[in-house]
Amino acid sequence: MKQSRAATIKVVAQKAGVSTATVSHVINSTRFVSQETRDRVLEAMKALDYEPSLLARALRSQKTSIIGILMPIMIYDNFDYYFMKLAHGAQDRLKDAGYDVLLSSFDNTLDDERKKVESFRLRSIDGLILLPTEGDHSYLNDNRKINFPIVLIDRMADGFEGDCVLADNYRGSRQAIEVLLEKGHRKVGFIVNNLKVTTVLDRIRGYKDAISAAGIAVDDRLIRIGPYDYQTGHDLTRNLLESDPGITALFYGDNLLTMGGLQFINERGIRIPDQLAIVGFDDFEWERVTSPPLSVVRQPAHEIGRKSAEVLLQKIDSPASGCEQHWFPTELVVRGSF
């Protein structure tokens, strides 16, 4: 009969005919134990239904084998879907390395982000993958409170110099505009969200640099910036096209804005690409079934997530190593919308 509630490490040692120290070495892999002895200990643990305390092991080793992943979750499904692809890539790699993942979200404010980082600290995680929001992140430099390595994903954070894994948003945006210009478009409108984060700022910079490099004066009247939501995409598209009928192409810096913009374009019966060329950012399934299918800038979300986990594992093994930025190229996926 199993004795799960009464079993202790001492009882396991007695049943296996070894010392309690040997049982501890088998559980924690802290010293070589012969395979024969190891098998006896494992058989005794199984017979007694003995499970070692994860908390006790963590206190002894100063490691919990738990990694935190923290991302701002917004109310829009498409936005969250991209973040979940990042998280899934990271989790795949961490699982292979024997780590459990604690995934959490915050409401896209710096104050809530700080509270969630503190809650992770209290849980004694071994490391954190963070997708930061806007604002000053110098609080992450406080080694008295942040006693675990942090790897930033998707974007950089103001005030914090840490390892970062992200897509080359600048190059992705610039390449999209360059292709539109090569096709003869001279008035290219740009609609993007108003988050003050590096991903958005890099996409704006890529748009402007491509225009300038072609010898065309950047016209800020062709740029519309607003909140990240469906209705904004609709309204900014209407406002932009009505303010300048000479626009022949639109570049959307975000997926949800693209959806809202397409609604207005369909309402007005504007033909794509005959009357208006369209390029979006991020590749979601719905963009492949529109008529015509949309051309987009694709980010390798799963690969970015996986790399962020690999970088964090390296930081855990070598805490004193320097910080690096790891860039992934984007891909312009040409379909039928230009």
For 184-193, give one letter per residue: b (16+ CB within 10 A) or e.
ebeebbbbbb
Q: What is the amino acid identity at position 243?
A: S
Is 162 strand, coil or helix? coil
Dihedral pair phi/psi, residue 316, rounded to 5°: -65, -40
The SS3 call for residue 130 is: strand
pTM beyond 0.75: the answer is: yes
pLDDT at 1: 37
Tell me the pLDDT tens digit for each residue of 123-137: 889 999 999 999 999
Residue 141: DSSP 8-state: G
Give the closest residue to 67 by CA, choosing from 330, 280, 315: 315
**The predicted structure's pLDDT at residue 10:** 86
- Which one-letter DSSP state was computed for residue 295? E
Q: Which residues contact 9 (CB under 8 A, 6 or more apart)?
A: 20, 23, 24, 27, 50, 52
Averaged pLDDT, 247-272: 95
Q: Residue range 265-292: average pLDDT?
A: 90
One-letter-per-residue 3-state SS of 112-129: HHHHHHHHHHHCCCCEEE
**SS3 of residue 102 by DSSP:** strand
Q: Which residue stretches of the chain are H helix?
A: 9-16, 20-28, 35-47, 54-61, 77-96, 110-122, 169-182, 198-213, 230-243, 255-267, 301-317
Judge whether residue 252 has pLDDT over 80: yes
Residue 43 has pLDDT above 60, yes or no: yes
Residue for token pair 């072609």: 214
Residue 2 scores a pLDDT above 80: no
Average pLDDT over residues 215-237: 95
Q: What is the dihedral of CA 163, 96, 92, 203, to 10 degrees?
A: 20
pLDDT-derived band at 3, boundaries 50, 70, 90: very low
Of the candidates 171, 168, 126, the one whose C-alpha atom is nearest the C-alpha of residue 151 is: 126
Of the two residues 134 and 287, the one the predictor is more confident about is 134
More confident: 53 or 223: 223
Tell me the two tokens of residue 206: 């890529």
| Higher per-residue pLDDT: 157 or 108 | 157
